[in-house]
Amino acid sequence: MGVVFGHLSDYASGFWYTVALTLASFLVSLLVGIVIATMRISPAAPARAAGLFYVETVRNTPLLVLLFLFFFGLTKVGLAYSIFVSGVIVIGAYHGAFVAEALRSGVGAVSKGQAEAARSIGLTFSQSLRYVVLPQAFRTVVPPIGNIFIALTKNTSLITVIAGVDLTSAADRLNTTYAQAIPIFFGAAVAYLILTIPSGLAFGWIERKVAIAR
């Protein structure tokens, strides 16, 4: 374990890179998810179709392929973003599709009578979503969103492949130099668990906080 404690600063810089990437991408994925989910339940058929197309395309492509496409595609059109920004955009857009599906199923889980009641007191589509359906839907989607957050945290490791300097790449570089794989990778694994376990607990806490008796 000496090699781990001797290089805590390498781990720390990778750790904070992973944390920043996770939080920024999660924010993007929430925004994308809300937009796509709204499209998928909208009264306008073209919007529904476009939302469905986005979800099916993005969910069925490996994240690594999307990263490469974005990275190489944008340089071809003459735009170049930093590795970090590319990561935020691609990881956010990818998980946005999953967030959208979670939100949509959350809206589906709100009992039908709620929507009927909202409509029958004369609220419009957007009013009934805003005041009645969505506030309840958000509560039921806390656990799936939590799962997506944890999956996203783990998936940020793919930034290593396009030369990002996150936790995974820190471990891989240390291993290349010191060739002590077990302690080095175990150290990185523990660092990931330090991120994922508390966020699982935090989402569980939020879930209990916002739970409503049914």
Partner 1 sequence: MSQQPSVLYDELGPRGQRRVVIGSVLAGVLIIGVVALGIVRLAAKGQFQTTRWEVFTQPAVVRFLANGLLATVRVALTAGLLSLVFGLALALARLSVRRAARYATGAWIEFFRGVPLLLLILFIAHGLPQYGMKLSAYWFLVLGLTIYNSAVLAEIFRAGILSLDRGQREAAYAIGLTYAQSMRLVIVPQAVRRMVPTLVSQLVTLLKDSSLGFVIPFEELLRRGRGLGEFYPQSILQAYVVVAAIYIAVNFSLGRVAVWLEGRQARRYGGRVHLPGGPEDLAMIEVRSAALVPSD
**Member of 20, 41, 165, 206 binding partner 1 (CB under 8 A):** 41
Residue 199 CB, shortest distance to partner 1, in Å, is 10
**Member of 20, 23, 48, 138 binding partner 1 (CB under 8 A):** 48
Answer for the pair 102, 76: CB distance below 8 angstroms, yes or no.
no
In this complex, which beta carbon is closest to partner 1, that of residue 89 or of residue 141?
141
Rule CB under 8 A: say whether 81 interacts with partner 1: no
Residue 77 CB, shortest distance to partner 1, in Å, is 4
- For residues 38-49, b (16+ Cβ closer than 10 Å) or e, as one string? bbbbbeeeeeee
- Per-residue x/- track, 127-166, partner 1 (CB under 8 A): -xx---x-------x-xx-xxx-xx--xxxxx-xx-----
Rule CB under 8 A: say whether 60 interacts with partner 1: yes
**Member of 189, 201, 202, 210 binding partner 1 (CB under 8 A):** 189
Rounded to a whole number of angstroms, the distance between the first and last alpha carbons of the chain is 51
Cα–Cα distance for residue pair 190/105, rounded to 1 Å: 33
Rule CB under 8 A: say whether 10 interacts with partner 1: no
Cα–Cα distance for residue pair 25/85, rounded to 1 Å: 9
Query: For 113, which DSSP code?
Result: H
* Region 94-113 residues binding partner 1, contact defined as CB under 8 A: 95, 97-98, 101-102, 104-106, 109, 112
Residue 172 CB, shortest distance to partner 1, in Å, is 5
Cα–Cα distance for residue pair 87/200, rounded to 1 Å: 23
Query: For 137, which DSSP code?
Result: H
Rule CB under 8 A: say whether 56 interacts with partner 1: yes
Token output for 123: 């609220």
Rule CB under 8 A: say whether 192 interacts with partner 1: yes
Rule CB under 8 A: say whether 40 interacts with partner 1: yes
In this complex, which beta carbon is closest to partner 1, that of residue 88 or of residue 100?
100
Q: What is each CA distance from 78 to 68, 74, 75, 110, in whole angstroms?
A: 15, 6, 5, 46
